[in-house]
Amino acid sequence: MPDLINELLATEAAIDKLGARGISVGEAGQVIWNRYVVIRNRRGSAERLQRDIRRLLIGCSDNRRFLTLVIEKTIEPTTWLLVTGWESTSAERMILEKA
């Protein structure tokens, strides 16, 4: 069953990380209302079980900016915690285009 996302929550740390890369929380939140794909975060730390609780959300903002966001599961199945994000790489954009 695919991961459903109805809401993204951002901590102050996430807001700072996004801001350092020129991404607002509002723009990051737009991704879930446009075309996106969710994939496993294979680079997560095995010690902190990140591979099980974190995912990569790849999609577009309303102004067609491709973003990759690291999100983490919460107790609520359709609410996810926003950890950080960046402008999608060409490889990440290809994943979205093939989905």
What are the sequence ranges of the domains in the chain? Answer: 7-98
Tell me the C-alpha distance between 44 and 79, whole Å. Answer: 20
**Closest alpha carbon to 71 in 7, 2, 1, 20:** 7
Supply the pTM of this predicted model.
0.87
Distances 89 to 6, 65, 75, 92 between C-alpha atoms, Å: 25, 11, 30, 5
Nearest to 85 by CA among 64, 68, 62, 63: 68
Model pLDDT for residues 53-99, shown as the tens digit of each residue: 789 999 999 999 999 999 998 999 899 999 999 999 999 999 999 98
- What tokens does 77 get? 């199945």
Task: Flag whether pLDDT at 49 surpasses 90.
Answer: no
